[in-house]
Structure 1
Amino acid sequence: MSRYARQIAVAELGPEGHARLRAAHVLVVGAGGLAAPVLQYLGGAGVGRIRLVDPDRVAATNLHRQTMFREADIGVAKSRAAAAAVTALNPDCRVEAVVAALDPSNVEALCDGTDLVLDCADSFAASYILSDACQAAGRPLVSASVVGLDGYTGAFCGDAPSLRAVFPDLPQRLGSCAEDGVLGPVVGVVGALQAQMALALLAGLEPSPLGQLVTFDGRSLRSGGFRFADAPEPARGPRFLAPGAVTPADFLVDLRAEDEAPLMRPFAHRLAASAFGPGGPMPTTGQRAVLCCRSGQRAWTAAERLGVVWDGDIFLVALGDPTGDTL
């Protein structure tokens, strides 16, 4: 037990809290920059089991912020390289590497048997998919995001409101690390806060971070945040659908440009998000609307416009980023 002597000496944790960590099983989605501090701190603290999910391989552009990887890892599946690094740090921690993309068809299976989910993916679609699944199962979700010099992390679901309750509407503009860049230390700070929230939840520390969001501004080096324990759940919001669940009976719209990608299915309509609204195209009675694009952002915008004139089912499909550059 000498490995854990310093953390067991923390009065708020003690042997009982440490025992909870050793018995815990967590799901980490994304093996990039946020996951680097998350995995190292959870592994170092002796969390018993980690299921790590990421579809990508290590690239040279990852190395400035994804600090678990080395030059020799380029080309290796991120989940496998990160799992090996955690095991080298602490063989007490069992890490299951899953080389796959998260989507609505596999989210329940990936979450199965876990006590807590950590969203470390550079994908707002993954965040909402995880939030919907965790809310339905009553499982806590610690989600984080960083773009440029700004980031946040929050503890959702479980006994707290979902991510949809805090972010019910799509922001006017959603950035990504590939488009807007990201500074490595900012990712490290936010990832460390995310790890602390997860360890507090797993160990049963009080007060619980559930229902709390923490922000970090890398310009001013200041943090902020707020409690959202009383945030109401939205009555309606677009849900994500797995690409494989699309059928010819759907009103399927591919919102990507012709020079961006071929149609998702031969029966899809290629339209822009601005086409929807009063006087725009609509599904027929009994059809469900399925709107797809690369990240889900344009699909969400189109869903908001279509929802003004259509009260039927609307689903979104995020077809993926061909760059594979996870935060």
Structure 2
Amino acid sequence: MSRYARQIALPEFGPAAQDRLAAAHVLIVGAGGLAAPVLQYLVGAGVGRITLMDGDRVSVTNLHRQTLFRMDDIGKSKADTAAHHMAHLNPDSTIMAVSAPLDPANASDHVTSADLVLDCADSFAASYVASDTCLAAGIPLISASVVGTSGYCGGFCGGAPSLRAVFPDLPERAGSCAADGVLGPSVGVVGSLQAQMAMAVLTGMTPAPLGQLVTFEAIGHRFGGFRFDRAHEPQGGFGFIAPAQTRPDDWLVDLRAAGEAGPALPDATRLQVTDFDRSDIRPDGRRAVLACRTGLRSWQAATRLRARWDGDITLIALGDLPQGD
């Protein structure tokens, strides 16, 4: 136990906490910038099993913040490469790499087999899918996000309110690292906080981070946050499905521009978000399935449709084609 002597020596930790880490199974969604500190600290601390999901490959534009990777890793699977590097950090920790994103089709199987889920994905659709699945299964979720110089980390589900209780609506524009930029150290700070919250949940430290959101602003080095233990779950929100979960009788709408990159969606009607301001655009009793790349345009179109139609609406975030395909 000399490897863990310094953390076992803490009065708040001790041998029992170390045993709980060794017995834990953690699902980490995303193997990018947030996952870099998360993986290193959780593997280093002795978490017994980790499932790591990411469908992307290492890119040179990510190396400034995704510090698990090296130049020789460019083009390789993020999940496989991160698992390989972590195997050399601590043989006590077993990492199963899944080179696929978390989506509505596979979320239940992966979430329900874990004791804790960490949302390190750069996708609000994946975050909502993880939260919805964790809420239904009673599994705690530590979700974090960083764009530009600002970020947050919070403890959701597992007896606390879900991500939707704090963020019931999407913004008019969803920020991204690619479009808005991001500072590597900002990601490191929030990822380290995410690892600390995970350790607290797994070992039963008090006060528990579930029901708490912490914010960080790199410019000025400011922390903030609040508790949301009594936040109410919103009614009537829009859920996500995978393309394979569509039905023949669905009213399937593709909101991407003609020629926009991404997976094909055969048999879909192509519309724009603004088309849903028209009263004649409606699904005539069928389930409305609205698809776009990230899910943002689908959410915006669904909000317009909901204002005048109370039928079943669900969303698809198609994403991009896998890198290298």
Q: Which runs of structure 2 are paired with 1:1-327 in the superposition (5 Å)?
A: 1-261=1-261, 264-277=264-277, 279-285=279-285, 287-322=286-321
Counterpart secondary structure, 1:265: coil
Change (3 A) 1:262 1:87: closer
Counterpart secondary structure, 1:276: helix
Distance 1:195 1:186 in 2: 14
Superimposed CA distance per residue, residues 233-278 of structure 1 (whole angstroms, 9 cap, x where no aligned partner): 0011000011111233111110001131489434211111111135
Task: Say whether the 8 Å CA contact 1:277–1:309 is kept in structure 2.
Answer: no
Task: Say whether the 8 Å CA contact 1:31–1:52 is kept in structure 2.
Answer: yes
Task: Say whether the 8 Å CA contact 1:293–1:319 is kept in structure 2.
Answer: yes
- TM-superposed deviation, 1:313: 0.7
Distance 2:322 2:105 in 1: 22
AA partner of residue 304 (structure 1)? T
AA partner of residue 21 (structure 1)? L
Superimposed CA distance per residue, residues 266-291 of structure 1 (whole angstroms, 9 cap, x where no aligned partner): 42111111111351400112x10000
Counterpart secondary structure, 1:235: coil
Distance 1:133 1:50 in 2: 18
- TM-superposed deviation, 1:172: 2.4
Distance 1:164 1:262 in 2: 27
AA partner of residue 274 (structure 1)? T
Counterpart secondary structure, 2:199: helix
Counterpart secondary structure, 2:283: coil
TM-score by length of 2: 0.97
Distance 2:98 2:261 in 1: 27
Counterpart secondary structure, 2:12: coil
Counterpart secondary structure, 1:130: helix
Superimposed CA distance per residue, residues 132-169 of structure 1 (whole angstroms, 9 cap, x where no aligned partner): 00000000000000000000010000010000000001
Distance 1:209 1:136 in 2: 19
AA partner of residue 171 (structure 2)? P
For structure 1, the residue ranges without an aligned partner over 5 or more in a row are none
AA partner of residue 151 (structure 1)? G
Change (3 A) 1:196 1:263: closer
Counterpart secondary structure, 1:15: helix
Superimposed CA distance per residue, residues 55-100 of structure 1 (whole angstroms, 9 cap, x where no aligned partner): 1111111111100111111121111111111111101000000111
Task: Say whether the 8 Å CA contact 2:262–2:321 is kept in structure 1.
Answer: no
How many residues align? The count is 323
Change (3 A) 1:104 1:165: same
AA partner of residue 301 (structure 1)? Q
Task: Say whether the 8 Å CA contact 2:263–2:318 is kept in structure 1.
Answer: no
- TM-superposed deviation, 1:322: 4.4
AA partner of residue 297 (structure 1)? L
Distance 1:264 1:314 in 2: 21
Distance 1:261 1:45 in 2: 41
AA partner of residue 100 (structure 1)? A
For structure 2, the residue ranges without an aligned partner over 5 or more in a row are none
Change (3 A) 1:261 1:90: closer
Counterpart secondary structure, 1:142: strand
Distance 1:133 1:262 in 2: 25
Distance 1:213 1:256 in 2: 33
AA partner of residue 282 (structure 1)? R
Percent identical pairs in the alignment equals 63
